[in-house]
Amino acid sequence: MEMNDRFLRACRRGPVDATPVWFMRQAGRYMPEYRAIREKYSLLEICYHPELAAEVTLQPVRALGVDAAILFADILLPAIPLGVGLEFARGEGPVLQNPVRTMEDVKRLQPVHPEKDLGYVMEAIRILRSELSIPLIGFCGAPFTVASYIVEGGSSREFLKTKMVMYSTPEVWHALMETLSGVLAEYLVAQIRAGAQAVQVFDSWVGALSPQDYEKFVLPYSQKVLQAAKAENVPVIHFGTNTTTLLPLMKRAGGDVIGLDWRIPLDDGWSLLGSDVAVQGNLDPAILFAPLPEIKVRVQDILRRAAGRPGHIFNLGHGILQHTPVENVKAVVDMAHEFSALREKV
């Protein structure tokens, strides 16, 4: 089985025959095959059963023709062995019964051994590597994003509790981030050693911070996770949303590839970062609901802005939304491949 490695080549800013495409949340609720599995199993049950997690990971690969698979898991899985009491409430997302807001709470966190405590993730990776002819991406949440869930006790819009710990008891914040960055670094390295050929660090909520707060309270901890992965010699993608003001700092924190969301034009984002880093993005997920001619205009605009420079991976600016038409997602893959391959021939 020959490996389609255009995604890995693009991560390293090498030449490609067409722009590689994959999507954040490419496996999940918008796909009928996934919904059929979810009728029988909860999200956590799918994660706990490696053969199910592998099957869900493979569903979009079969349906879409993407150039990379991303492991089906959840960024909060490492929170389970930490002992913060994770469950998924219907329609509400993650709920953590034991949020961490004091030094005593931090000290109560349990040690995590990824190979043992999260062994089901590694097993899913091993199964997938035997079945895939495209690269497999492993991932973890970034320390800030995982910390925000653990402090808030779930999702948040304002991140007020998180910021209050950060500003009012910085010693608690730094102790929590030190713990989390160690756990997440080991978790990512374990995924790579199990067979992940690239990894992405999701800092989904870091756009809630100012550059000054990012530099002081987040950067060193993200750097620790990103450097641990980089030391394993696989491409590392560093992603966040709402991060236009943070991009230079995110680059400093690390990553071979920086994810751009749709709020900044791709070429402007790349200029901010500099040409010595690859970029990933950056179609607005909502565009996938538009008529095909409008989708085509938007896809081609992004590819024109990338201008054939080595190191562009086509993706969304965040994850695929529920109810997205599968045929539109597939059309984007075909459009990106065709447009970029045509340009290569010119």
Catalytic residues: 25, 29, 38, 74, 149
In one-letter notation, the amino acid at residue 56 is V
Q: What share of the chain is helix, strand, coil (3-state, %, to 5)?
A: 55, 10, 35
Q: Give me the residues paired with residue 177 across strands.
A: none
Q: Is the dihedral of CA 86, 73, 121, 234 positive or negative?
A: negative
DSSP output for 291-326: -HHHHHHHHHHHHHHHTT-SSEEEEESSPPPTT--H
Comparing C-alpha atoms, which of 186, 202, 273, 267 is closest to residue 238? 202
Comparing C-alpha atoms, which of 99, 95, 46, 55 is closest to residue 73? 46
Please count the CA atoms within 13 angstroms of the CA of 254 that sit on its side-chain side: 21
Spatial distance between the Cα atoms of 343 and 18, rounded to a whole number of angstroms: 9
Kind plus residue range of the DSSP H or E element containing 3:
none
DSSP code, position 136: E
Helices 50-64 and 326-345 sit at what angle, rounded to 10 degrees?
60
